[in-house]
């Protein structure tokens, strides 16, 4: 089903949804655009890809997993434990296909036969993704090289395509179809063709895709070549901008915040580029330098993860890690350098 | 433009002459698109060919020096970068005989944020960049735009008092006439706000912070590296909770650890992926240090930052009169 909505009506539609549900949308503030909880008076900003990915919707940067209330000994009670499972629904509006697809990398890890992460699963199942197709690639975009494209519908409930005067909205799931029943949506008519043409043109503008299929094997071949990784990581400053911007990075840390008799167990995003990520209790650190850590980040996304999960690359090609890296480390260049490295005779 | 070309050749020749005796020389090359440069670690003639010194080459190479302890490296430094080197030397964090400084008399570098604001389309769609003497000609999403360099210079460059390296082994370019430092308009506007407004500003701005620590890791003076109080896990000194209060707390720690040490290279603010104007805090702290101790970091060799030493009687703190 395809419908049309004007720009103003999309803003109205989002504001209406925000009265009933949590809505996460790109909002401009302080010279940048990030996903924010849509509050009355906030305007959607579709003028650029939001700097931070929509990962917060399904995997927030910080959440309280549980609270523990301890009791003084004389009370006879010891402690009470309260779990904080996420409640309610979340609608994400204006994410791009790459950001939406981030969760597809989470699924094989956080919902397996053996292990199910209830926090993630509840958020994912309670989330609706109204994705905006990209009209033109940025210099850092490479979704087409990791099995996607600028109008990829996978993971979305609705796909919006910008056309003259507004957007064509295509229902991808039943959940999406229900939302398109809102009276603010009109008959798409000839606009549907305009949207199809725009999506085809966007794909064409991306040019030829790079073939990463040899990366898994080639990265393993460089595993013990620390000279290679030292050179590749020269300019890296070992911060967390890349991993925290990344829609697919799913590692977390757990800490306990204690205050008096109450303690809260927090889960926060973790960052494999940080020294503490693999710091062991003994003081030993198997990834003691940024070269070791960069090797792991590249290897995980383009080799170890695909090996475990049917060849799926753990990267959605959004380019945020390239664009936001303070030193301009380019993930494509690093993986390609491993791919192009001459084989030993 | 021709001036810059001849300076680049002069610089390349100077580096070429010393490359064999150095582990590497850190400069810049074009990055992932024509609008962005990236640090370049020169180890061969082929690397050297990629060197650029255009106003797009913004990164402070001094940040990397402490990672090369015990090795001899070269750095291409602008005025502000040389201040970071001086401060590192003064704090004995690097050795003078382990760095060769290729100094550039600098006419300023760009602010990518100002370029974004001035362009007719998202800079992500950039196709070509041509550098004129005083302007940038940028093709973006099929449109041509000409930006005056002066209008897109980083704030730190607008009133820079030290455009020429204060320490260098080789100096490229012509020295500038002495200049007076001044605080940028954005600083004055912020400081004129009332406390309530400042609080509201930081509450909103710090809600964007994701604690990626790009500001910390890019800072040439943040040398605790893997032992930062903000991420220590034994003991957990700081909550990992990502609230404006905790985020601001980290920034307070960061700026106070830089007291009398910050050389205002602006890297923290440049590196911030969510555009938090961190220099508002740095400049304010530096102003206090100038007023209380008469000290400015990184402008002279053999000076110890005031909080790393003590005087029995501080010249400007009249304790006896209290």
The percent of residues in chain B predicted with pLDDT above 90, rounded, is 86
Residue B192 lies inside a defined structural domain of this protein = yes
Mean pLDDT of B292-302: 95
CA of A74 vs chain B CAs: smallest distance (Å):
29
Query: A139 to chain B: nearest residue by CA?
Result: B124
Q: What is the mean pLDDT of residues B269-285?
A: 97
| Domain residue ranges of chain A, discontinuous segments joined by + | 2-61+84-205, 215-254+270-340
pLDDT in tens, A166-183: 999 999 999 999 999 999
* DSSP E strand boundaries for chain B: 25-30, 37-42, 73-77, 99-104, 126-131, 135-140, 143-148, 170-172
Q: Which of residues 213-232 of B touch A (CB under 8 A)?
A: 213-214, 216-218, 225-226, 231-232
Domain limit, last residue, from B136, B152, B168 = B152
- Could you give the angle at the alpha carbon of A185 between the alpha carbons of A179 and A190, nearest 5°? 125
List, in sequence order, every residue forming a beta bridge with B128; answer none if it has no partner: B139
SS3 call for B201: helix
Confidence of residue B177 (pLDDT cuts 50, 70, 90): very high
Considering its fold, how many domains does chain B have in total?
Answer: 2
Residues B159 and B279 in one domain: yes
Instruction: Inspect the interface and report whether the beta carbons of A275 and B226 lie closer than 8 Å.
Output: yes
Going by the DSSP 8-state scheme, the letter that residue A6 receives in this structure is E
Q: Strand, helix or coil at B148?
A: strand
pLDDT score of A68: 96
CB atoms within 10 A of CB A333: 14
- Half-sphere exposure (Cβ direction) of A139: Cα atoms closer than 13 Å: 21
**In this structure, are B238 and B157 located in the same domain?**
yes
Is the domain of B7 the same as that of B99? yes
In the predicted model, what is the mean pLDDT of residues A113-134? 97
User: Do residues B167 and B273 share a domain?
Assistant: yes
Question: Using omega within 30 degrees of 0 as the cis cutoff, is the peptide bond preceding B235 cis?
Answer: yes
Average pLDDT over residues A40-45: 96
CB contact B114 to A (< 8 Å): no
Instruction: Show the CA angle centred on residue B321, arms to residues B315 and B322, nearest 5°.
Output: 110
- When pLDDT is cut at 50, 70 and 90, the band that residue B116 belongs to is very high
Stretch among A24-33, A89-98, B207-216, B218-227 having the lowest mean pLDDT: B218-227
Question: pLDDT class for B198, splitting at 50, 70, 90?
Answer: very high
Asked whether residue B245 falls in the same domain as residue B180, the answer is yes
Residue B318 lies in a domain: no
The pLDDT of residue B1 is: 47
Beta bridge partners of B58: none
Model pLDDT, residue B233: 76
Q: Looking at the partner chain, which of B59, B214, B242 has a beta carbon nearest the beta carbon of A268?
A: B242
Report the candidate in B25, B51, B24 with the shortest Cα–Cα distance to residue B37.
B51
**In B, which residues are within 8 Å of A50 by CB distance?**
none
pLDDT given at position B322:
83
pLDDT tens for residues B63-115? 999 999 999 999 999 999 999 999 999 999 999 999 999 999 999 999 999 99
d(CA B230, CA B228): 5
Eight-class DSSP state of A302? I
Q: Are residues B139 and B44 in the same domain?
A: no
- Is B103 found in the same domain as B240? yes
Task: Compute the nearest-CA separation of A73 from chain B (Å).
Answer: 26
Nearest CA in chain A to B274: A32
Contact A268 B241 (CB under 8 A): yes
Q: Are B221 and B261 in contact (CB under 8 A)?
A: yes
Judgement on whether residues B165 and B279 belong to the same structural domain of the protein? yes
Nearest CA in chain B to A56: B210
Q: How far is CA A265 from CA A66, A68, A79, A256, B240, in A?
A: 5, 8, 14, 5, 10
Inform me whether the C-beta atom of residue A251 falls under 8 Å from chain B C-beta atoms. no
Mutate to test the interface with A, among B212, B216, B267 (most CBs of A within 10 A): B212
Q: B141 at the A interface (CB within 8 A)?
A: yes
Average pLDDT over residues B256-282: 96
Q: What is the greatest pairwise CA distance in chain A? A: 76
Is B322 domain-assigned? no
User: How many other CB atoms sit within 10 Å of the CB of residue A82?
Assistant: 10
Determine, yes or no, domain membership for B59: yes
Cβ atoms of A43 and A14 within 8 Å: the answer is: no
Question: Are residues B180 and B299 located together in one domain of the fold?
Answer: yes
Query: Using one digit for the tens of pLDDT, what is the confidence trace for A74-113?
Result: 888 899 999 999 999 999 999 999 999 999 999 999 999 9
Q: Coil, strand or helix: which one is B132?
A: coil
| Interface mutation target, options A53, A136, A317, A326, chain B, most CBs of B under 10 Å | A326
ipTM: 0.94
* B-chain residues near A324 (CB < 8 A): 273
Q: Does B274 touch chain A (CB under 8 A)?
A: yes
Same domain, yes or no, for B38 and B50? yes
Provide the domain limits for residue B124.
112-152
* Tokens, residue B247: 């985020």
The residue from B103, B121, B152 where one domain ends is: B152
Helix axes A118-125, A97-110, angle to 10 degrees: 140
Q: Give CA–CA dist A46/A39, Å, rounded.
A: 16
CB contact under 8 A, B36 and A328: yes
Cα torsion A325, A330, A332, A335: sign:
negative
Indicate the pTM of the whole model.
0.95
Q: E-strand spans in B165-307?
A: 170-172
- Whether residues B177 and B129 fall in one domain: no
Q: Is residue A159 within a helix (H) or strand (E), and if so which, with residue range?
A: strand A158-163
Domain-terminating residue out of B121, B152, B183: B152
Looking at residues B280-294, what average pLDDT do you find?
Answer: 95
Specify whether the CB–CB gap between A42 and A17 falls below 8 A. no
Q: Are residues B221 and B144 in the same domain?
A: no
> Among positive and negative, which fits the CA dihedral A138, A144, A150, A152?
negative
Whether B319 is covered by a domain: the verdict is no
Q: Taking CB atoms and an 8 Å cutoff, what residues of chain B touch A286?
A: none
* A197 touching B (Cβ < 8 Å): no
Domain for residue B320, yes or no?
A: no
Q: Which residue of A has its CA nearest to B122?
A: A48
Residue percentage of chain A with pLDDT more than 70: 100
Of A193, A188, A201, the closest CA to residue A134 belongs to: A201
Return the C-alpha torsion angle B193, B199, B204, B208, nearest 10: 110
Q: Which two tokens stand for residue A231?
A: 């050179």
Tell which A residues from 318 to 337 touch B, by Cβ distance under 8 Å: 322-324, 326-330, 333
**DSSP 8-state secondary structure symbol assigned to residue A41:** T
Q: Residue B132 maps to which CATH number?
A: 3.10.450.750
**How far is Cα B252 from Cα A302, in angstroms, rounded to an integer?**
38
A326·B218 Cβ contact <8 A: yes
Strand-pairing partners, residue A262, are: A69, A259
Q: Coil, strand, or helix at residue A75? A: helix
């Amino acid at each position: 089903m395809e419908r049309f909505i004007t720009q103003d009506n999309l803003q109205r539609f989002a504001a209406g949804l925000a009265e009933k549900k949590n809505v996460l949308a790109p909002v401009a503030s302080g010279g940048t655009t990030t996903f924010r909880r849509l509050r009355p008076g906030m305007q959607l900003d579709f003028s650029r890809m939001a700097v931070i990915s929509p990962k917060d919707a399904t995997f927030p940067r910080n959440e309280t997993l549980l609270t523990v209330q301890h009791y003084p000994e004389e009370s006879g009670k010891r402690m009470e434990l309260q779990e904080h499972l996420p409640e309610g629904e979340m609608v994400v509006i204006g994410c791009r296909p790459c950001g939406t697809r981030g969760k597809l990398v989470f699924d094989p890890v956080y919902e397996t036969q053996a292990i199910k992460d209830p926090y993630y699963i509840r958020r994912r199942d309670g989330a609706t993704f109204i994705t905006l197709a990209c009209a033109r690639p940025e210099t850092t975009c490479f979704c087409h090289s990791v099995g996607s494209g600028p109008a990829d519908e996978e993971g979305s409930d609705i796909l919006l395509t910008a056309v003259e005067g507004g957007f064509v909205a295509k229902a991808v799931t039943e959940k999406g179809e229900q939302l398109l029943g809102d009276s603010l949506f009109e008959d798409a008519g000839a606009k549907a063709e305009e949207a199809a043409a725009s999506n085809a043109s966007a794909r064409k503008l991306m040019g030829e895709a790079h073939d990463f299929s040899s990366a898994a094997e080639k990265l393993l071949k460089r595993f013990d070549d620390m000279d290679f990784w030292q050179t590749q990581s020269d300019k890296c400053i070992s911060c967390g901008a890349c991993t925290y911007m990344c829609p697919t990075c799913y590692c977390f840390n757990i800490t306990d915040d204690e205050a008096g008799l109450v303690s809260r167990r927090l889960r926060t995003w973790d960052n494999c580029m940080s020294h503490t990520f693999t710091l062991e209790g003994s003081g030993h650190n198997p990834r003691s330098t940024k070269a070791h850590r960069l090797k792991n980040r590249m290897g995980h996304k383009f080799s170890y993860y695909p090996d475990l999960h049917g060849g799926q690359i753990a990267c959605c090609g959004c380019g945020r890690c390239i664009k936001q890296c303070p030193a301009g480390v380019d993930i494509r260049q690093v993986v390609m350098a491993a791919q192009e490295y001459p084989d030993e005779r | 433009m021709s001036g810059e070309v001849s300076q680049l050749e002069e610089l390349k020749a100077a580096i070429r002459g010393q490359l064999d005796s150095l582990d590497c020389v850190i400069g810049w090359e074009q990055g992932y698109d024509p609008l962005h440069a990236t640090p370049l670690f020169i180890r061969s003639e082929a690397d050297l060919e990629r060197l650029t010194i255009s106003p797009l080459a913004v990164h402070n190479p001094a940040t990397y020096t402490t990672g090369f302890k015990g090795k001899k490296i070269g750095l291409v430094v602008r005025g502000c970068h040389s201040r970071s080197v001086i401060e590192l030397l003064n704090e004995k964090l690097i050795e003078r005989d382990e760095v060769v400084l290729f100094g550039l008399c600098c006419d300023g570098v760009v602010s990518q944020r100002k370029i974004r604001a001035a362009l007719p389309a998202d800079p992500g769609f950039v196709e070509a960049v041509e550098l004129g003497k005083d302007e940038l000609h940028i093709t973006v999403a099929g449109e041509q735009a000409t930006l005056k360099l002066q209008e897109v210079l980083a704030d730190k460059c607008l009133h820079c008092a030290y455009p020429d390296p204060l320490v260098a082994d080789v100096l490229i370019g012509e020295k500038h006439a002495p200049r007076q430092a001044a605080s940028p308009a954005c600083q004055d506007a912020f400081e004129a706000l009332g406390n309530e407004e400042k609080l509201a500003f930081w509450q909103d701005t710090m809600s964007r912070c994701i604690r990626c620590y790009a500001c910390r890791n890019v800072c040439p003076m943040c040398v605790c590296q893997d032992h930062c109080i903000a991420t220590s896990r034994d003991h957990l000194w700081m909550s990992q909770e990502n609230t404006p209060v905790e985020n601001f707390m980290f920034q307070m720690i960061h700026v106070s650890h830089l007291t009398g040490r910050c050389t205002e290279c602006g890297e923290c603010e440049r590196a911030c992926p969510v555009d938090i104007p961190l220099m508002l805090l740095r400049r304010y702290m530096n102003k206090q240090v100038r007023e209380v101790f008469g000290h400015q970091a990184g402008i002279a060799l053999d000076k110890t930052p005031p909080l790393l030493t003590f005087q029995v009687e501080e010249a400007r703190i009249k304790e006896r009169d209290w």
